[in-house]
Amino acid sequence: MRKCYPAANLNKLEKHIFRMYDTNGDNHIDFREFMMVLYILSNGSPEQNLEQIFRIFDINNDHEISRSEMKKIVKDLFALLSTKELQLVENDAKMADEAFTEMDVDKDGKVTKEEFIHACLSHEKVSSLMALKITDIFIPDDGSDADEEEEKNGD
């Protein structure tokens, strides 16, 4: 994470990402847990990837996202947004409220995994932005255009 975002303060976000890997909640990431998430994020379907990302938002692991959980994650994620992305929302509180409203389709005050996945796959504005930003954390941009150069040169 620090390689992708060297200037950002990732301390709080790291805790949220850690929960995604620590599937049994023992505060340790064993090799199996690490490989499972790595496999899903690299080879899984969009739905499987979003199921993993849902775990980041579900802070208390009760299988739903509350408005307060959404606010905590968005606040920590907000620092990673680009200037262009920031133009879509005024501040982290507004972004959290917009995302929660987009996702909570049945208006019961909580977001289920199914609602979360549906909102992200439906390309709801704020929901998709957050899911993509979290995905960016796992796909480092090293700034090299070597692959593009090889394609141009026919290598």
- pLDDT range class, residue 67, cuts 50, 70, 90: very high
5 and 69 Cβ atoms separated by less than 8 Å: no
pLDDT for 10 beyond 60: yes
Cα–Cα nearest to 112, from 100, 128, 123: 100
The CA distance from 59 to 121, in Å, is 22
Q: Where are the beta strands (DSSP E) in the chain?
A: 64-65, 111-112
- The distance of Cα 126 from the centroid of its chain, to the nearest Å, equals 12
Domain 11-140 superfamily per CATH: EF-hand (1.10.238.10)
Cα–Cα nearest to 54, from 138, 5, 127: 127
All structural domains of the chain with their residue ranges: 11-140
Across the range 94-106, mean pLDDT stands at 91
User: What are 36-59's pLDDT values in tens digits?
Assistant: 777 777 787 888 888 888 988 999
